[in-house]
Structure 1
Amino acid sequence: MYEQKKEYEMGRDQFLNCVKNNGIVSFCTADLYAIHTVLQEIEQRNGYAVIEVTSNQVNPEGGYTGMNAMDFRNLLASMARHVGLEENKLILGGDHLGPLPWANLPPTQAMEKAEILIRESVRAGFQKLHIDTTMPLGDEISPPDEEVITDRWIRLYQIAEEEASLMAEQDPDYEKPVYVIGNEVPVAGGNPVGREEIPQITNPESLKKTLCLYREKFCKIGIPDAFENIIAVVGDFGIGYSNREICEYPRGKARKLTEVLQAYPHLVLEAHSTDFQSPESLQAMKKDGIRIFKVGPELSYAHREALLALTRAERKFLPRECWANFPEMLEQAMENNPTYWENWYHGTEAEQRNMRMHSRLNRDRYYMNLPEVKSAEEKLLNNLGGEEVLPFVFNGIGEVAEKYLEVLE
């Protein structure tokens, strides 16, 4: 029951050295084309990376991919073997692990489901756990009190450690996971309606308060060493993207936060939503002390843009009766279930239609695994040569992956 599958996982010490010395990219995506491309890039560059999935993508109820943690773990191992990736180049992580998928439920029920998610993630061999309890649950007022956020985080941390201890009893070589905290976490999936303003920057004093709060609470419940298992803290660094614009990193703004961490030498800064940042901004972030770069939607955005380009080629060279109608099938799926986009895309019907197909927020990624959409994608690719056209799809995604990996070279 507690077997840890170790293929394609770098060791804990090796991972921590990579993070501290030069930084690491965390590719947070469940897009299989994106994962394949990233694994190939890592193998070709002889580099290192983290592959993560969010609790919305993969969870005990299947998420929007239909997979639980072990399903994803096994799939990733198979894909890594397929591209010939060395065993020590990759670590598996979970992002926004917590009650996020069940935030509409009362707090007690949401946290019970979050506990199951945490246990399954640890059993599946997830080694980097970003536990996120910053969201309001049920009828709570947003945002929750920082004491509540921290207490819930520690509750889920204890569940993870309990499960990890059970696994360690089964395997003396098992390495327990490391953790990421942050009481100011950028919105998962991009900014929804009404959040087009310039992203905030975490106040250094707020960061100090958060770190002190976690350490004090660990000491209060008798596990002071738990603080050493935290390797990174997420904050707001003034970056982000929306339907209309990209907010590039304001150079120098993370330096004061880096100075705060000088009192905590085991911690680094983790940046979420680095999607669509320019190479110059990424380099500036690294120079200012950010060591974990999280990217996800930009990869699936590149996948979608490649498919739309192929659609234009299909319609130029093939008669209408042969078309795969990929955009129409995707549009229909999104219209049938607006849950994943209606709070992100607003305006006239024409503006919403354009956003559904072209927005950087890429909410269409929630629909790409639907059978009718996948079938249309497969027909589109087959119409244009099948495997012969796949490099076109991979190349667009690869350019995104290269941008991030080159920051670390």
Structure 2
Amino acid sequence: MSKLLQDHLKQGSDAAQAGITSVCSAHPLVLRAAAELAAEQESLLLIEATSNQVNQFGGYTGMKPADFRIFAEEIVAKAGLDPSKLILGGDHLGPNPWKNLPAAEAMEHAIAMVSAYAAAGFTKIHLDASMSCAGDPVPLSDEEVASRSVKLCTAAEAAAPADKPVYVIGTEVPTPGGATHSLDGLQITPPAAAAHTLEVHRAAFAAKGLDDAWQRVIAMVVQPGVEFDHDSVVHYKRAKAEALILWRKQKAASIVFEAHSTDYQFGSAYRELVEDGFAILKVGPALTFALREALDALAAIEDLLVAAPTRSNLLKVIDETMLARPDSWRPYYAGDEAQQALLRRFSYSDRVRYYWHYPEISAAVKQLVANLDAVKIPESVLSLYLPAQYERARSGEIAGDAASLIVDKVKDVLRVYASGCQPR
């Protein structure tokens, strides 16, 4: 699987660079959408779990890496995708979940986590030791990041089966899930910084005898000038990234760039990013944002069609659950109660994605889907709330059941990415 991804990314010249969408989600309907689209297009499917979602302690999903593999493979099988097309990755694998601990203790946990991912057959590993732990300087030097990354790589190499992973390195790693600060000062990675990061990591790998692993470093995380916060997006401007693009072509053509926080860009940006060498496009919040929009629309339809005593009251259940367990949103959403309420529901950072697995919310979603499938949504009602899905359901392109409508709404995001990733 690791060679499959390497060959895919190198199949064209820069003028015809192939890209790949990295689907960063653990939601079953999001993964169903991604798997079905990959099956339709006969393309590779890269699914990545993050260190907070999935780790040796279960993460917030309750899944360990081996559990996530089974979970993803079952979804892929139901979608009819050839299992050989599935590539599993680990995103932000490092001490991030334990950064409140001293570095030595946090790294022990991180090493155990990376080992678990590698042993479970994840073949794309993002070595992310960029975050400062308790007592560390802020920020960490490239040299310290590389030193810690090598420890993680050594553990992965030892734990992996015969199919050794490919690796992603880099110190210019955006905040997972979107910015929590002003975007006014967003800086594109300077070529000199990228060159220093690459050389420091190369030397660190060589010093520990990891020359073979270094040949499997396929990408480096950089900042191409894309980001989003609660209600705004920094759009890609290739002219601003020209120096970085040229540096890679001239000095580091054996790797591609991995672009994080590419959610909510215009469609043309994905084609430009891939052509410019940012060939791995990470997307997460935009997918669950589309999922939430679909469920929001279906909840409004439910209010029209279903008697009050049997309604799911999904939106009310979601907000009550988030208010009762605020740790995953309150540190990120400032303002008064009204502003926070708006952000909980509509923020681009989509912190509600951390709550779909809660039993009360999961039960409400199931009730909503069952209620609407029982009454059958009239075409004329669907037209108002989900117009794109209305057109496809009316023409027979998709089924009209609630789950299929949700999945197709998520596919709308993935279709734009897929179009941008096709080499010309």
Q: Which residue of the partner structure matches residue 94 of structure 1?
A: 90
State yes or no: 1:121 paired with 2:117.
yes
Q: Which residue of the partner structure matches residue 133 of structure 1?
A: 129
Distance 1:252 1:162 in 2: 42
Structure 1 residues 37-46 or 220-229, which shifts more?
A: 220-229
Gaps of 5+ in 2: 12-17, 375-399
Distance 2:421 2:178 in 1: 25
Structure 1 counterpart of 2:8, from 18, 37, 40: 18
Q: Which residue of the partner structure matches residue 139 of structure 2?
A: 143
- Decide whether the 8 Å contact of 1:314 with 1:384 is kept in 2: yes
Name the % identity. 36
What letter corresponds to residue 212 of structure 1 in structure 2?
A: E
Structure 1 counterpart of 2:401, from 376, 382, 388: 388
- Decide whether the 8 Å contact of 2:111 with 2:152 is kept in 1: yes
Paired residues in the alignment total 390
Distance 2:416 2:120 in 1: 30
Secondary structure, counterpart of 1:385 in structure 2: helix
Query: Cα distance, 1:106 vs. partner?
Result: 1.4
Superposed, which structure 2 residues align to 1:197-208 within 5 Å? Answer: 197-208=184-195
What letter corresponds to residue 421 of structure 2 in structure 1?
A: L
Query: Cα distance, 1:45 vs. partner?
Result: 0.7
Secondary structure, counterpart of 2:126 in structure 1: strand
Distance 1:93 1:181 in 2: 13
- Decide whether the 8 Å contact of 1:340 with 1:363 is kept in 2: yes
Structure 2 counterpart of 1:329, from 299, 314, 317: 317
Secondary structure, counterpart of 1:384 in structure 2: helix
RMSD (Å), alpha carbons: 1.5
Q: Which residue of the partner structure matches residue 289 of structure 2?
A: 301
Q: Which residue of the partner structure matches residue 229 of structure 1?
A: 216
Distance 2:88 2:356 in 1: 23
Secondary structure, counterpart of 1:147 in structure 2: helix
* Cα pair distance change 1:197/1:341, threshold 3 Å: farther
- Decide whether the 8 Å contact of 1:255 with 1:289 is kept in 2: no
- Decide whether the 8 Å contact of 1:20 with 1:291 is kept in 2: no
- Decide whether the 8 Å contact of 2:183 with 2:234 is kept in 1: no
Q: Which residue of the partner structure matches residue 3 of structure 1?
A: none
What letter corresponds to residue 33 of structure 1 in structure 2?
A: L
Structure 1 residues 150-159 or 379-388, which shifts more?
A: 379-388
* Cα pair distance change 1:139/1:197, threshold 3 Å: farther
Structure 2 counterpart of 1:37, from 17, 20, 33: 33
Q: For each residue in 1:352-391, what CA deviation from the matched residue of structure 2 results, as whole angstroms up to 9, or x when unmatched?
A: 0011011111001111100011011111111111682212
Query: Cα distance, 1:288 vs. partner?
Result: 1.6
Q: Which residue of the partner structure matches residue 197 of structure 2?
A: 210
Distance 2:274 2:196 in 1: 24
Q: Which residue of the partner structure matches residue 332 of structure 2?
A: 344
Query: Cα distance, 1:225 vs. partner?
Result: 4.1
Gaps of 5+ in 1: 1-10, 168-173
What letter corresponds to residue 9 of structure 2 in structure 1?
A: V
- Decide whether the 8 Å contact of 1:98 with 1:114 is kept in 2: yes
Query: Cα distance, 1:145 vs. partner?
Result: 2.1
Q: Which residue of the partner structure matches residue 414 of structure 2?
A: 401
State yes or no: 1:359 paired with 2:347.
yes
Query: Cα distance, 1:146 vs. partner?
Result: 2.0
